Amino acid sequence: MRSNFDNPMKLDKDGVAEACGPLEWHGETEASVTVTITQDKVEGTASGSFSPPADEWMLEVRPSDPHKKFKKGQAHGQGELRAVPSAPAAEDPFPWGQDVDLDPKAPDET
């Protein structure tokens, strides 16, 4: 099981990034996703678990320092997906890194 970040990444008015990405199930029964968003000196991490038939994961990533906010512009996302497979997986965990654009005008996921 693999994933990535939807780009651009939605940024709310409070400076919270809405990190999302696809899930493609191949016999797994659950997946946990942990993401870290870094923008200059602002960093935040979020984790969550997802089960079929969800076709995407979504996590609200808040800056770890409550006095800071993410702002519109480029950031770097680092993610890790761990699946609970029905058989041993060749790529578990699956880590990835990706540059993303934080944008309050990014479309909402439907």
Q: Is the distance from CB of 107 to CB of 101 less than 8 angstroms?
A: no
Total-model pTM = 0.89
- What length does the chain have? 110
Residue 35 CA to residue 53 CA, distance in Å, equals 21
Model confidence pLDDT, tens digit, residues 20-49: 999 988 888 899 999 999 999 999 999 999
Distances (CA, A) of 84 to 27, 68, 78, 79: 9, 35, 20, 17
Read off the pLDDT band of 53 (50, 70, 90).
very high
Architecture of the domain delimited by 9-102: Sandwich (2.60)
